[in-house]
Structure 1
Amino acid sequence: MTDQVLQVLIIGGKGRIGSSVAQDIATHTQAEITVTGRSPEMGRGVSFDLGKKCHFLELDLANTDKLRNAIAQSDLVIHCAGPFHHRDTQVLEICIEQGVNYLDVSDHRSYTNKALILYKKAVDAGVTAIINTGIFPGISNSLVRQVIEQFDQPEKIHLSYLVSGSGGAGITVMRTTFLGLQHPFTAWINGNWEEIKPYTDRENINFPQPYGVSGVYWFDMPETITLPDSFPTVKTVITKFGSIPDFYNHLTWITAHIFPKWLMQRHYMIEFLSHVSHNMTSFTNMFTGIGVAVRAEVTGKKDGKTVVYSATLLHENTAVAAGIGTGSIAKLLLEGKLKHPGVLPVEAALPTNLFTQIMAERKIQIHSDWG
């Protein structure tokens, strides 16, 4: 009797993040991978890039019958077709209907809220659906859980994300950044939901080398809403993002605060800014690199004292790091080492022992510090 080859379907698998996810799974598992794209041209070079166990499927998400058929033939579906700001939960719902495990790289609270509503349906179907995987959100959530577990009573979470240049990502990630500047958002501050303006309240954070002291600003992330629910004693959750070189932070601040709001809410403006930014970072990448730093700092009680503990993870390629975040969880699901029916954010689904194991497997170091 031969072992059945497991089938992984990656929707949007030809984008920078989707390709990184596919590469990680191709490297670390024996699964057969099908990546999708909206046109035949997107399928060129798939087998060359990822080997013979990777195939291409032309698929438009609007074609529900073809989507349902592709999901029904899969053991795991990974949704990488962003941006997720206005994406519906059709893929997740079909996975639950078909009894197929699900991951995504979603990165906006609007999608997170819609997905979490399906929790009971996933439980009833025995489907493990983990959302917001990737680097941030994703690995960032696991860093927080790892730090939280050092405390008797955690009280405050401060997450800082720093990306060099384009981060190795494509136009879609640029769109995500500018879409995140459009509206104020609510954050959990001192036990209350308070309205926050994006890209405000700059803080200079001391990251490990090669980054050093760098500026970060308020940015709307799914962790803002999932972490208070996952860790009820926490009264404050701060999520801040910054770029290298610092010049980009000032341009982003101008975009968020000087440009007319009505203009920033036009599709053509988002497209214009995304393409201009991508072209600029493609040039500066030569000098800055495309790495990422994620720092999780927690303040709380331990042995009756108020203490601070932080953990920081670095990677030289942001897109590859996102692929590792999702691909490593995919491997655990395919191997049957992770089973947690429901729709869950990473910190609620992935135990710290498995997180540290998969980071060690990929030789990713985590720098920890008390004080």
Structure 2
Amino acid sequence: MAKAVVLGGCGAVGTVASKTLAGQDLFSQVILADQNRERAESLIGEWGSDKVGFVQTDALDPESIKAAIQGADVVVNCVGPFYKSVKIILDAVLESGINYVDVCDDVDVTLDILDWDQKAKDAGVSACIGMGSSPGATNLLARFAADALLDEVESIDIFHAHGGEPFEGPGVIGHRFHCMSIDIPMFLDGELKYVKYFEEDGVALRQTFDFPVLGGDVLLYPYPHPEQVTLPRYIKTRQVTNKGTVLPSEYYDLTRDMCRLGLSGKESLDVNGQSVVPYDFALAYIIRERERILKETRFGSQRGCCSVVVKGRKEDAYSEYRFHMASGSQALGEGTGVPAAVGAMLMVLGKITEKGVLPPEGCINPQDFLDLVGPVMKLDEKKGDSDSFSGVIVQHVDALGKVSTLDI
């Protein structure tokens, strides 16, 4: 049996990945590598598993990382924000010669670490990056449609929304600020183009989408996730877009407005003789206000949905597939943490063999993922109960616009 080390194992995503791995017979040890000893001890006590351990780790210190991952068969990196941490962590992992999975969703740093492909090959390491929900499962569903369902792919559009998680840390909110601040890639008309979130070209790409579980007319915004730059490398298509939001809308609006007003800035200001960093204030304020907003909007339990819409042609006729990964009881943690755990399982099972730094569609057979993810998530097949359903809904739209639900 194998040993897995989960960096950031006590965070919203890392907790789910760690618990999922601990529940698999493949692993004899699952180590939570995190700064938060108190939460680690609480989780270990709650899970009651003697295979779960803890190593206090500074994820920005290479020597601390190397000490934590020593003897591991696979490292799962859930430490965000990735634009800040992933290079330090991946470099330490490559120097240690250990196979690696992460859930990196920051496109700018994704492009940087893809350039480390030869470095990983030289180290004999398989590094699967962006193995969460979006990116991750989205990439594999798009690849599945392209390989198994369509003759030609015209467009791949990714839509996601979630909310109500038990807690959100500063790394999650920092990621959202980052997404709103950087140039956003969109693969349009066969070319990679960049738009700005708050400017006219980015505003023009906003749209509403109808999600199972979440409801219709959910307003979505351009997101700088890696699918737009990685999928066109493996699938011939003219368009790849990514749009999303966080629920309830009042909470997302608060985050957006604080970023627009410049409160995501990291340069300190003098306020009545005290040094205040706007970014630090914004994170604390948003985390505090989140609880009030969830209560006032009566949001209820966590829920989420990530949809992949692939349009193309089959036997020279229009054909469209819609994959909805929906849950009325799970959201960011489960949606991202479980695919990361499945990626680690595939690594240990020998299903990921190519060396280098690769996105999921570049190193994972989509069918291998689909075969594992259902049993691991223990998906609810009661599709009639739209409020609590958890699973993958697959729809086909034919040339006449007829929509049918499929079992794949």
Q: What is the TM-score when the length of structure 1 is the normalising length?
A: 0.89
Q: 1:242, 1:296 → 2: CA distance? A: 15
What does residue 371 of structure 2 align with?
Answer: 357
Among 292, 301, 308, the residue aligned to 2:320: 308
What does residue 337 of structure 1 align with?
Answer: 351
Extract unaligned runs of 5+ from structure 2.
268-276, 380-390, 398-408
- The alpha-carbon distance between structure 1 residues 63 and 163, as it changes in their structure 2 partners (threshold 3 A), is closer
Q: 1:221 is paired with a residue of what secondary structure?
A: coil
Q: 2:101 is paired with a residue of what secondary structure?
A: strand
Residue 234, structure 1, aligned to residue 251, structure 2: no
Structure 2 residue identity aligned to 1:271 = D
Q: 1:28 is paired with a residue of what secondary structure?
A: coil
Shift of 1:253: 4.6
Moved more, 96-105 or 164-173: 164-173
What does residue 74 of structure 2 align with?
Answer: 76
Among 297, 308, 312, the residue aligned to 1:296: 308
What does residue 88 of structure 2 align with?
Answer: 90
8 Å contact 1:46–1:56 — kept in the other structure? no
Q: 1:343, 1:108 → 2: CA distance? A: 15
Among 52, 55, 69, the residue aligned to 1:54: 52
Q: 1:118, 1:302 → 2: CA distance? A: 37
Which aligned pairs between 1:210-359 and structure 2 lie closer than 5 A? 210-231=214-235, 233-255=236-258, 257=260, 259-260=261-262, 263-266=263-266, 268-283=277-292, 284=294, 287-315=299-327, 316-318=329-331, 319-359=333-373
Q: 2:93 is paired with a residue of what secondary structure?
A: helix
What does residue 28 of structure 1 align with?
Answer: 24
Residue 207, structure 1, aligned to residue 207, structure 2: no
Among 40, 45, 63, the residue aligned to 2:42: 45
8 Å contact 1:168–1:317 — kept in the other structure? no
Q: 2:179, 2:101 → 1: CA distance? A: 22
Q: 2:247, 2:179 → 1: CA distance? A: 18
- The alpha-carbon distance between structure 1 residues 43 and 253, as it changes in their structure 2 partners (threshold 3 A), is closer
Structure 2 residue identity aligned to 1:224 = Q
Q: 1:134, 1:168 → 2: CA distance? A: 18
Q: 2:252, 2:57 → 1: CA distance? A: 37
Residues 7-66 of structure 1 show CA distances to partners (whole Å, capped at 9, x for unaligned) of 211112111111111011011233301112236445432431342211111222354334
Moved more, 335-344 or 311-320: 335-344
Q: 2:85, 2:172 → 1: CA distance? A: 15
Q: 1:218, 1:65 → 2: CA distance? A: 37
Extract unaligned runs of 5+ from structure 1.
none
What does residue 119 of structure 2 align with?
Answer: 121
- The alpha-carbon distance between structure 1 residues 239 and 73, as it changes in their structure 2 partners (threshold 3 A), is same
Moved more, 56-65 or 10-19: 56-65
- The alpha-carbon distance between structure 1 residues 206 and 46, as it changes in their structure 2 partners (threshold 3 A), is closer
Q: 1:106 is paired with a residue of what secondary structure?
A: coil
Structure 2 residue identity aligned to 1:212 = G
Residues 221-244 of structure 1 show CA distances to partners (whole Å, capped at 9, x for unaligned) of 11121112121x112111001233
Shift of 1:343: 1.0
Moved more, 44-53 or 124-133: 44-53
8 Å contact 1:43–1:57 — kept in the other structure? no
Q: 1:277, 1:194 → 2: CA distance? A: 31
8 Å contact 2:264–2:282 — kept in the other structure? no
Q: 1:36 is paired with a residue of what secondary structure?
A: strand
What does residue 176 of structure 2 align with?
Answer: 177
Structure 2 residue identity aligned to 1:17 = V
Q: 2:93, 2:182 → 1: CA distance? A: 31
Q: Percent identity?
A: 23
What does residue 108 of structure 2 align with?
Answer: 110
Q: 1:264 is paired with a residue of what secondary structure?
A: coil
Shift of 1:75: 1.0
8 Å contact 1:137–1:222 — kept in the other structure? yes
What does residue 65 of structure 2 align with?
Answer: 67
Structure 2 residue identity aligned to 1:45 = S
8 Å contact 2:143–2:361 — kept in the other structure? yes
Shift of 1:248: 3.5
Shift of 1:204: 1.3
Shift of 1:184: 2.6
Moved more, 141-150 or 11-20: 141-150
Shift of 1:159: 0.4
8 Å contact 2:62–2:89 — kept in the other structure? no
Shift of 1:366: 1.4
Shift of 1:77: 0.9
8 Å contact 1:130–1:346 — kept in the other structure? yes
Q: 1:332, 1:303 → 2: CA distance? A: 33
Q: 2:83 is paired with a residue of what secondary structure?
A: coil
Q: 1:170, 1:65 → 2: CA distance? A: 25
8 Å contact 1:23–1:323 — kept in the other structure? no
Q: What is the TM-score when the length of structure 2 is the normalising length?
A: 0.82
Q: 1:143 is paired with a residue of what secondary structure?
A: helix
Q: 2:105 is paired with a residue of what secondary structure?
A: coil
Shift of 1:70: 3.2
Alignment length (residue pairs): 363
Q: 1:115 is paired with a residue of what secondary structure?
A: helix
Q: 1:124, 1:363 → 2: CA distance? A: 38
